[in-house]
Amino acid sequence: MEPKVFEDERGYFFESYNQEKFELATGAKPYFVQDNQSYSTKGVLRGLHFQKGEYAQAKLVRVLDGEVLDVAVDIRPGSKTFGKVVSTLLSSDNKKQMFIPRGCAHGFVTLSEHASFFYKCDNFYNAASEGGILYNDPEFKIDWILDESELIISDKDKLLPTYSETVPN
């Protein structure tokens, strides 16, 4: 999603969220209940995360400052886009936003020296419902742009299972 930006010598203005336009563009009608914000330095990779069951979350994300590669993976069995990876550059310059539906894993890597990342969520966070997939799962072949040696990944994210390890056979 890319907003219409009005710029002049004073700066810029844009509508970052309009429910009617959002519903027309996505077909989704989320009721956002929680906003989150993170700050990361270059090379920080967060993900791939999701919330399970009744605590699943849809997210509308954007970058307030800096640039990231934002990635979503559809892990909804039976979905017509199951197993598909979508990635896009989000930045404070392009002001693009990405909508991640419930049932999709989400992650991003910071490409600029730092980035402030903003999430609108349609469900409250629940620690017991956390789920995740290893960022370099060979099933999804995600190109994180940066070299592996440049990535800064939490110990917790390094230990996430692959997708095949999370799904009962």
**Residues known to be catalytic:** 49, 119
Quick one: 1 exposed, middle or buried, by C-beta within 10 A (0-12, 13-18, 19+)?
Answer: middle
Q: Which residue has the tokens 């990779």?
A: 45
With contact defined as beta carbons under 8 Å apart, do 68 and 91 qualify? yes
With contact defined as beta carbons under 8 Å apart, do 142 and 85 qualify? yes
